[in-house]
Amino acid sequence: MQIKLTLTFDQSISFFVLVMGGWYPLTLVPNCVLALDRNVLKILHHLEDGSRRQDVEKNRWWLKFLDTESVTLNPVLCALEGENRSVPTKEEFTVQFNEATIRIKNSYREQE
């Protein structure tokens, strides 16, 4: 049996969760671990610094769906991407992972 439905959200979709065989809009994410990349960290930075970008409110709306106990945020992709567009050393990976973890924790703590 197949069910087909159309969903409409308050904001246009700007965050996707990639899964085997496709993707979900962020609002439909089940209990899971999400690997965040540097793009998400950059967006968190824009939200923190009072940016006047046009997409700030849209991003704030979507990212609130990550602020739940059923979702674990893992910055492993941030650390793997590194800052130098090359494979990071173990030390660089560790530094990037720790910095990303702090930024994520601080971002969600500020929104409470």
Tens digit of each residue's pLDDT, the chain (112 residues): 888 878 788 877 777 777 788 888 877 777 888 888 888 888 888 888 878 888 888 888 888 888 888 888 999 998 998 777 788 999 999 999 999 999 888 887 655 4
Nearest Cα to Cα of residue 58 among 99, 95, 13: 13
Q: Does residue 9 fall inside a structural domain?
A: no
Q: Does residue 95 fall inside a structural domain?
A: yes
| Count of domains observed in the chain | 1
Instruction: State which residues form the domain around 64.
Output: 27-110
pTM above 0.75, yes or no: no
Which residues have C-beta within 8 Å of that of residue 38, sequence separation ≥ 6?
A: 77, 78, 81
- SS3 (DSSP) at 65: helix
